[in-house]
């Protein structure tokens, strides 16, 4: 045997005691399983279990096997559901207001009774909202919307789990059970939306949350999802499932504004007059409903955020909140020289660029028949932020030295959930994801220019690392999962395939870097330091790196209920 091949095989053996749960693996659905016994304590063979999703009318029917077990998978999360147990020999049962959690199949077992026994049935709703079960937690739509926090980010919800920590810095990075934030996995309708290249501190591929909280039906977090069905991460797992249309039209509309007009007045701080000005707006709406009643449904979500960026530093004797050592006269002289000698606009210090974020989600649900349903999700999120604005007491950065970091996330996912027999069901996912990251300077008419004056430096032109800087990655994912009920064993097996195409352009100094020891040298075109690097063709586009990598995984897992509260899971992943 070749010893190196052993490193490619991962085995998982887990015993869960107490409240029965199962690990999540990029899940988008839920299920119901259990065991039906007759009044004598024996297996109730061929008992019919009918499960109906009340909002959409879709019905699933299954019969118990020789051990009295049944297993239904591929069910929509949430509810309410109605469960009807139909036995030809014993009294029928009906259970209402049942709710399901993403990736956490409900264990529903019961004992049948004879017809002549008077039975009082008590029904109630299962709390889908804030449920903490050790290392895991689940939240429904109402809890998500009402969670405290002003960022409209799912992290405001997830942080209520004691093992989830969200930092207080501007990036709001999230650690689960102390792991590095980049080790986590975050999925929306089964599509991973992580910061694949580690460019953002927030863990997302976008500047803000990639999905509107108004579009989420349910979100779950799992700290230790030990399962052969899991892969591609070593930290925590967060699964978010978007809302769907129902037989009734429903929607929402929200508007938020944050303004300095509503803040307190500060005449001075440490004796310095301060003019606090800030404003941001966020509006969002959702709409869902039937296209064909009981069969075809739609859901639409749109979210828009706008906020002007406040400049903190400016020349001395200006109205900037924080003045630099650079005098207003030196700033104006440099601008005039750039225009008259070099023919370029050096920019200003007091521009107010807009930070924007726009999210769109469209979802179509199709109840093909009682045995098959499909879901299609399109997501488009685009946002930007202006960076490199922060000057210091010894340096003034003009607007041509700033750059706009723009990121666009676009995904398209299709899911097919099928029930082929009482014992066998399947799920198939095909997804496409494209992430474009651009670090675009406000101007490329010049290189990176620094002018050293006696009172401080003046920086203009794109900084050296933004001369050629772009990243695009496209991911195609396929997942096929089968689940087979054999006696009291729930056996799952499947295939996962991912391919990633990457274009990475990083060409620093390709517009040149220049340092002038004084404004006079700048006017005389006498650079004291110069640097230039580029592709061998002098065409920055030829510095692109294009590469591709693929991952293929096979897995099989056996989940055995020793009792309804004790589970033994064994699996193998290759």
DSSP secondary structure of 433-454: EEEEEEEEES--SS-EEEEE-S
pLDDT at residue number 262: 79
Rounded Cα distance between 482 and 496, Å, is 12
Rounded Cα distance between 94 and 418, Å, is 25
Identify the CA nearest to 417 among candidates 477, 363, 375, 364: 375
Rounded Cα distance between 339 and 320, Å, is 24
Cis ω for the linkage preceding 3 (within 30 of 0) = no
Note the pTM of the prediction, 2 decimals: 0.86
Residue with token string 């200003």: 348
pLDDT at residue number 19: 37
Q: Which residues, 6 or more positions from 484, have their beta carbon under 8 angstroms from its beta carbon?
A: 423, 424, 490, 491, 492, 493
Determine which helix (DSSP H) or strand (DSSP E) holds 158, and give its type and residue range. helix 155-158
- For residue range 446-502, what is the model confidence (pLDDT) as tens digits? 999 999 998 889 999 999 999 999 999 999 999 999 999 998 899 999 999 999 999
pLDDT at residue number 521: 95
Rounded Cα distance between 295 and 316, Å, is 67
Q: What is the dihedral of CA 330, 333, 339, 345, to 10 degrees?
A: 30
Sheet with 48-53, strands from edge to edge, namely: 59-63, 48-53, 78-86, 93-100
- Per-residue buried b or exposed e for 23-56, using 16+ beta carbons within 10 Å of the residue's own CB: bbbbbbbbbbbbbbbbeeeebbeebbbbbbbebb
Rounded Cα distance between 416 and 435, Å, is 25
Determine which helix (DSSP H) or strand (DSSP E) holds 398, and give its type and residue range. none
Q: Which residues, 6 or more positions from 376, have their beta carbon under 8 angstroms from its beta carbon?
A: 363, 364, 366, 412, 413, 414, 415
Q: Which residues, 6 or more positions from 333, have their beta carbon under 8 angstroms from its beta carbon?
A: 519
- Per-residue buried b or exposed e for 73-103, using 16+ beta carbons within 10 Å of the residue's own CB: bbbbbbbbbbbbbebeebeebebbebbbbbb
Q: Rounded to 5 degrees, what are φ and ψ at 29?
A: -140, -175
Q: Which residues, 6 or more positions from 88, have their beta carbon under 8 angstroms from its beta carbon?
A: none
- Per-residue buried b or exposed e for 417-432, using 16+ beta carbons within 10 Å of the residue's own CB: bbbeebbbbbbbbebe
The DSSP secondary-structure symbol of 213 reads: G
Q: Rounded to 5 degrees, what are φ and ψ at 540?
A: -60, -30
Identify the CA nearest to 51 among candidates 79, 22, 24: 79
Strand stretches in 322-420, DSSP E: 322-327, 354-369, 372-387, 395-397, 403-419
Rounded Cα distance between 213 and 69, Å, is 37
The CA-atom distances, in angstroms, between 199 and each of 233, 238, 320, 376 are: 17, 20, 30, 29
Rounded Cα distance between 422 and 525, Å, is 82
Q: Rounded to 5 degrees, what are φ and ψ at 141?
A: -60, -40
Identify the CA nearest to 367 among candidates 297, 289, 287, 288: 297
Provide the residue-wise pLDDT of the chain in tens; the chain has 574 residues. 344 444 444 444 434 333 334 444 568 889 999 999 988 888 889 999 999 999 998 999 999 998 899 999 989 998 899 999 988 888 888 999 999 988 888 999 998 888 755 554 545 444 444 454 557 888 988 889 888 877 889 999 998 888 898 988 777 888 888 888 888 889 999 999 988 887 888 888 998 999 999 999 999 998 877 788 888 788 888 999 999 999 999 999 999 988 877 776 655 555 555 566 778 899 999 999 999 999 999 999 999 999 988 788 888 888 777 888 899 999 999 999 999 999 999 999 988 889 999 999 999 999 999 899 999 999 999 999 999 887 777 899 999 999 999 999 999 999 999 999 999 999 999 999 999 999 999 889 999 999 999 888 999 999 999 999 999 999 999 999 999 999 889 999 999 999 999 999 999 999 999 999 999 999 999 999 999 999 999 999 999 999 999 999 999 999 988 887 788 899 999 9
- One DSSP character per residue, 35-60 reads EEE-TTSSB-TT-EEEEEETTT--EE
Sign of CA dihedral 41, 45, 48, 53: positive
Strand stretches in 260-351, DSSP E: 268-269, 272-273, 279-292, 296-308, 313-316, 322-327
Q: Rounded to 5 degrees, what are φ and ψ at 202?
A: -85, -5
- For residue range 44-99, what is the model confidence (pLDDT) as tens digits? 899 999 999 999 989 999 999 988 999 999 899 988 999 999 888 888 889 999 99
């Amino acid at each position: 045997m070749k010893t190196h091949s052993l490193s490619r095989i991962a085995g998982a053996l887990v015993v869960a005691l107490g409240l029965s749960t199962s690990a999540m693996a990029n899940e988008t659905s839920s299920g119901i399983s259990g065991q039906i016994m007759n009044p004598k304590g024996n297996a109730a063979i061929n008992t019919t279990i009918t499960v109906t999703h009340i909002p959409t009318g879709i019905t699933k029917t299954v019969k118990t096997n020789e051990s009295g077990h049944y297993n239904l998978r591929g069910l929509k999360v949430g509810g309410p559901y109605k469960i009807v147990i139909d036995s030809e020999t014993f009294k029928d049962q009906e259970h209402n207001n049942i709710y399901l959690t993403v990736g956490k199949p409900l264990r529903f077992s019961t004992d049948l009774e004879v017809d002549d026994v008077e039975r009082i049935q008590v029904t109630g709703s299962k709390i889908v909202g804030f449920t903490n079960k050790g290392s895991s937690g689940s939240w429904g739509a109402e809890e998500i919307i009402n969670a405290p926090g002003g960022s409209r980010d799912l992290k405001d919800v997830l942080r209520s789990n004691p093992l989830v920590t969200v930092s207080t810095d501007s990036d709001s990075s999230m650690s689960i059970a102390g792991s590095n934030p980049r080790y986590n996995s975050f999925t929306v309708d089964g599509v991973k939306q992580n910061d694949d290249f580690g460019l953002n501190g927030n863990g997302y591929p976008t500047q803000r949350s990639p999905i509107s909280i108004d579009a989420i039906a349910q979100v779950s977090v799992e700290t230790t999802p030990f399962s052969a069905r899991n892969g591609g991460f070593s930290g925590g797992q967060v699964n978010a499932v978007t809302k769907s249309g129902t037989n009734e039209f429903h929607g929402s509309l929200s508007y938020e504004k944050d303004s300095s007009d509503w803040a307190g007045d500060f005449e001075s701080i440490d004796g310095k007059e301060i003019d606090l000005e800030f404003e941001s707006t966020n509006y969002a709406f959702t709409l869902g409903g039937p296209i064909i009643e009981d069969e075809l449904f739609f859901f639409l979500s749109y979210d828009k955020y706008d906020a002007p960026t406040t400049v903190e530093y400016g020349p001395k004797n200006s109205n900037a909140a924080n003045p630099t050592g650079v005098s207003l006269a030196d700033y104006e002289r440099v601008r005039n020289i750039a225009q008259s000698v070099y023919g370029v606009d050096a920019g200003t210090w007091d521009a107010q660029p807009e930070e924007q974020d726009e999210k769109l989600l469209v979802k179509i649900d199709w109840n093909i028949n009682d045995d098959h349903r499909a879901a299609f999700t399109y997501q488009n999120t685009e946002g930007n932020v202006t960076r490199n604005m922060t000057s210091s007491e010894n340096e003034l950065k003009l607007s041509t030295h700033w750059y706009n970091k723009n990121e666009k996330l676009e995904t398209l996912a299709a899911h097919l959930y099928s029930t082929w027999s009482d014992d066998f069901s399947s799920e198939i996912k095909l997804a496409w994801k494209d992430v474009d990251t651009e670090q675009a300077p406000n101007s490329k008419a010049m290189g990176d220019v620094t002018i050293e004056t006696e009172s401080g430096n003046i920086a203009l032109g794109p900084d050296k690392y933004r001369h050629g800087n772009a990243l695009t990655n496209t991911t195609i994912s396929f997942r096929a999962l089968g689940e087979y009920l054999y006696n009291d064993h729930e056996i799952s097996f499947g295939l996962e395939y991912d391919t990633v195409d990457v274009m990475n352009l990083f060409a620093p100094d390709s517009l040149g870097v220049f340092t002038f020891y004084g404004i006079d040298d700048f006017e005389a075109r006498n650079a004291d330091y110069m640097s230039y690097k580029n592709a061998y063709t002098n065409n920055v586009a030829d510095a692109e790196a294009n590469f591709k990598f693929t991952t293929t995984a096979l897995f099989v897992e056996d989940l055995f209920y020793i009792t309804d509260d004790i589970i033994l899971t064994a699996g193998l992943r290759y």
